[in-house]
Amino acid sequence: MSKEPLSIPRKVSVPSLLARTARGGKFSVVTASDYPSARAAEEAGVDVLLVGDSLGMVELGYANTLPVTMEEMLHHARAVARGARRPLLVGDMPFLSYQVRPEDAVANAGRFVKDGGMDAVKLEGGRDMVPAVRAILAAGIPVVGHVGLTPQSIHRLGGYRVQGRDSAGARRILDDAVALEEAGCFAVVLEAIPARLAAVVTARLGIPTIGIGAGSACDAQVLVSHDLLGLLPDEPARFVKRYDSLYERMVDAFRAYRDDVESGEFPAAGHAYEMPDAEWEAFSGGLDPGGPEPVPVQEAAPALPRLTAGCRR
Query: Which chain residues interact with ligand KIV by CB under 6 A?
Result: 31, 52-54, 92, 189, 191, 212, 222, 224
Q: What angle do CA 20, 24, 27 make, to 5 degrees?
A: 55
Going by their DSSP bridges, the two strands 48-51 and 143-148 should be labelled as unpaired
Rounded (10°) CA dihedral 260, 264, 268, 271: 70
Q: State the residue number with the nearest CB to ligand KIV.
A: 52
| Cβ(113)–Cβ(107) below 8 Å | no
Instruction: State the nearest-atom distance from the C-beta of 255 to ligand KIV, in Å.
Output: 30
Q: What is the 3-state secondary structure (H, E, C) of 119-151?
A: CEEECCECHHHHHHHHHHHHCCCCEEEEEECCH
User: What's the CA dihedral at 203, 205, 211, 215 to 10 degrees?
Assistant: -10
CA–CA dist 63, 32 (Å, integer): 19
Residue 156 C-beta: closest distance to ligand KIV, Å? 17
Question: Nearest distance from residue 240's CB to ligand KIV, in Å?
Answer: 10
Do the Cβ atoms of 124 and 151 come closer than 8 Å? yes
**Closer CB to ligand KIV, 94 or 102, in the complex:** 94
Judged by beta carbon, residue 21 or residue 209, the one nearer ligand KIV is: 209
Question: With respect to ligand KIV, which residue has the nearer C-beta, 121 or 174?
Answer: 121
**Complex with ligand KIV: residue 31 or 97, whichever CB lies closer:** 31
Please, what is the minimum distance in Å from the beta carbon of residue 80 to ligand KIV? 13
Q: Which of 72, 191, 274, 281 is catalytic?
A: 191
Q: How far is the CB of 192 from ligand KIV (least distance, A)?
A: 9
Phi, psi of 48 (to 5 degrees): -130, 130
Closer to ligand KIV at the Cβ: 47 or 92?
92
Between 53 and 119, name the residue whose CB sits nearer to ligand KIV.
53
Least distance (Å) between residue 213 CB and ligand KIV:
9
Asked if 50 contacts 122 with a C-beta cutoff of 8 angstroms, the reply is: yes
- In the residue annotation, 235 being an active-site residue is answered as no
Q: How many CB atoms lie within 10 A of CB 153?
A: 14
HEC secondary structure over 271-289: HCCCCCHHHHHHHHHCCCC
Positions marked active-site: 191
